[in-house]
Structures are given as structure tokens and as C-alpha cells.
Amino acid sequence: MRLDYTIPPVPNHLALRSCKIVGLVLFLWILGHIGWQDVFRELRNVEGDMLLLSCIPLILQYVIRALRWHLIVRTAGLQPTFRESWKLFNIGAFLAMITPAKIGELGRAVDLHRQGLNGPTAFALSLIDRIADIIVIAVLATLGIRTLFGTTAMFTVIAIGVALLVTTVLLWKATRKHREGVRWLRELSDLTTGRMVLLLLATTTVGWMCYFWWGIILTRSLGIVIAPFTLIAVLTVTGIVAILPIAPSGLGTRDMALITLLAPHGIAAPRAVALASLMLVTQTLFGTLGAWYWLKTRK
């Protein structure tokens, strides 16, 4: 499988470039408001051993997500080795890191199309990979909202979710004839067999467990002690907020979410921003592997 990966044209639009600026401005405003000196003081007190230990679950998360992508691509009929899928996954992860809302991940479809896979199917594969995350994180977020905001808030979210689900199902049935003429929608259905759905949900769940493990270790490295279930709820909601198309890699949005969600538990804003910074830095370091693959293939 030949890798010839380039950033698709969508991330170059002016609106998305503006989103990067908004995130940076938000981050600088937060630093100026709470005092960047206090944030650096917190970072200087990080336990190095714990920080190194946090690399283990992050590596496992990358491996599991790459395995999920490998399963999806092979189901579509391509026969890449895991090493090839690993490279393509890391390139997509790097592009997701530098684009708002992680839309760079959809660039994987560009490479699959260049390898001979038709465009609609390639897009469907990228969409399936994203949908798996959405389903699992939606369930976890519902439980997290109960932990953070109470049962009433949870049932409100559930009611909204059920309404959206029912609306989606009704629209899906009502547009059946129209969907039959849309190739990628038809192939999307063909790729979502019962066995495939179970495999995707299983690997996605394990991947998110590694994400929580990583987050828990990072919080411990800063001396933050919170009940595990509460911290998982905070990390879940923060992960969703970080995907908002305001900034790449959740710059600014992740900081604001952690400040807001950790404050009721006695965590000062500088320490919350220090945690967000550690999350950003460690993810960026791992993203350099994808950047290297991308630059190598461009040569």
C-alpha cells in the first residue's frame, strides 16, 4: 500500500484558519487572567516519574485506535499490513491535531482513494471510524453528566438524545429510496454488520479506557486527587469540548473546560490549566510521529 498523503483542501478554508486564531486568543486570555507565572509554578512541581508513566496508556491508545482503523480498512477489501495501517492512522492523527474539530482525520479517505478505493467508500470508512467514537463518548458523557450535574441533568440529556435518535431513525426510513441512489450511504450500511459493530465498539471502549488511565496519571503527577469516577466524568466532558471547532488540539477550550469542571472540587485554575497543558504537550509529542510519516511521504 503506497502512502502519498497530503492535507485535503477543506482545512485550508479561511473560516477554519480563523478558528485556530480564536483558540489561541482564548488560551492567551486565560493565561493572562489567571497568571501564567502560577501555571509554570505548577508545571515545575510535576512528578517526572508519573509523567513518564503516562506514556504507557497513551501508546496503548494509539495502538488500539490504529487496530480499529486496520479492521475497518481490511473489511472494505484492502489488504494493508498493520504497519501500513499504523502509518496512515498516525498521519490522520497528526492532521486531526492541527485542524479544528479533527476534520483532518477525514483526509485518510484521500489516501485510500489514491490507492484505488472509490471515493464514496473511502469517505464511508472514515465516517465509520468517527461514528464509533461518537457512540461510545455519548454514552460515557451521559453518565458523566449525572456525576457532575446530577440526575435531572442526565435525564434531560437522555431525553434530548432519544428525541434526536427517533428523528434520525424516522429520517433514515423516510429517505430509503433516496439513499439507494447514494453510493457511499449504501456502502456504509454494507460495512456495518453485527460482527463489525461489536468489534468497533469493543476497540473504541478499550481505547477510551486507556485515555482515562492516561488522564488519571497526569492528574496524579500534579498532585490532583479526585474520586476516579468524578475524574472520568470530567475528562469525558472535557474531551467533547476539546473537539469543538474553535481551535486545533483543544487549545483554550480544554483549559476552560477543566477550570470550570475542576473548580467545584477545590482545584485552582492554575493547576487546571497546568493539567490541560500537560495533556496538550504529551499528545503533541506523540503526534510528531505522524508528522514525520507525513513529511516523509511528501518527499
DSSP string for 78-89: ----HHHHHHHH
The x, y and z cell numbers of residue 291, run together, are 508528522
* Spans of all domains in the chain: 10-298
Residue 8 has what pLDDT?
44
Residue 24 has what pLDDT?
74
Residue 99 DSSP one-character state? S
Nearest C-alpha neighbor of 16 from the set 92, 110, 98, 131: 98
H/E element, 153: helix 151-174
Per-residue pLDDT of the chain in tens (299 residues, 90 and over written 9): 444 444 444 444 555 555 567 767 777 888 888 888 888 899 888 888 998 999 999 999 999 999 999 988 888 777 888 998 898 888 888 888 877 667 777 777 777 777 777 777 788 788 888 888 888 888 888 888 887 888 888 888 888 888 888 887 788 777 777 666 666 666 666 666 777 888 888 999 999 999 999 999 999 999 888 888 889 889 988 888 877 766 667 778 888 899 999 999 889 999 999 999 999 889 888 888 888 888 887 65
Residue 271 has what pLDDT?
92
Residue 259 has what pLDDT?
92
Residue 148 has what pLDDT?
80
Residue 2 DSSP one-character state? -
SS3 10: helix
- Dihedrals φ, ψ of 180, to 5°? -65, -25
